Amino acid sequence: MNEKTAPPELRRVTTLLLVNLGLSALLAVLFLIFHSSLLDYQVAHMSLPPGADVAAVREGLGAGLWGRVAGVVVIGLVYTVLLRRIRAGHRRAFVRVLILSVISLLGIAYLLSTGQYPVWVDVEQVVQAVVVLALLWAVTRPAVRAHFRPAAVQAP
């Protein structure tokens, strides 16, 4: 399979993958810009016991924010390979898009349920969830599924 035999619906899949990656990158940049205020927000909304080491808590939360930024870099590398392989018609890339989309939705649902970020982060996460839902819809269209159908095994 190649890009010339790909259904036009595949372009929607690749566009939504890029939009999702862009939203993740935007959030990572905003996390870097507002790092200190995000930590202030998180600490202020925690119920810490009296005498808790606030500096240690902030340090742990800061590591979590840096982890999210690093995660976006890793996802960017994975998406680069994934986009190339999906355009080339590799079935495994199709399956990975499905799996990554479901995992992304679960991760977004978890982050929204924790309430550990300010409203603007939640809004971005909801927008990203809509994009991922659209991606799941696009990748499960009959023409796209047919494009990635496993090759039939021929009898000897």
CA distance 133 to 129: 6
110 domain-assigned: yes
Residue 68 in this model has a pLDDT that exceeds 50: yes
Say what percent of the chain tops pLDDT 90.
58
Residue 151 in this model has a pLDDT that exceeds 90: no
Token digits of residue 98: 């499905």
Residue 48 in this model has a pLDDT that exceeds 90: no
156 domain-assigned: no
The pTM assigned to this predicted structure is 0.85
If 0-12 CB within 10 Å is exposed, 13-18 middle and 19+ buried, where does residue 101 land?
buried
- Model confidence at 133, pLDDT cuts 50, 70, 90, reads very high
153 domain-assigned: no
Q: Give the pLDDT score at 140.
A: 94
For residue range 29-44, what is the model confidence (pLDDT) as tens digits? 999 999 999 999 999 8
User: Residue 53: CB partners within 8 Å, gap ≥ 6?
Assistant: none
For residue range 86-96, what is the model confidence (pLDDT) as tens digits? 988 899 999 99
155 domain-assigned: no
- Model confidence at 138, pLDDT cuts 50, 70, 90, reads very high
Number of domains in the chain: 1
117 domain-assigned: yes
Range of the domain at 88: 3-147
Mean pLDDT of all residues belonging to the chain: 89
154 domain-assigned: no
Q: Give the pLDDT score at 2.
A: 46
In degrees to the nearest 10, what's the CA dihedral of 115, 116, 120, 124?
A: -80
Q: Please, what is the Cα angle at 21 between 29 and 131, to 5 degrees?
A: 115
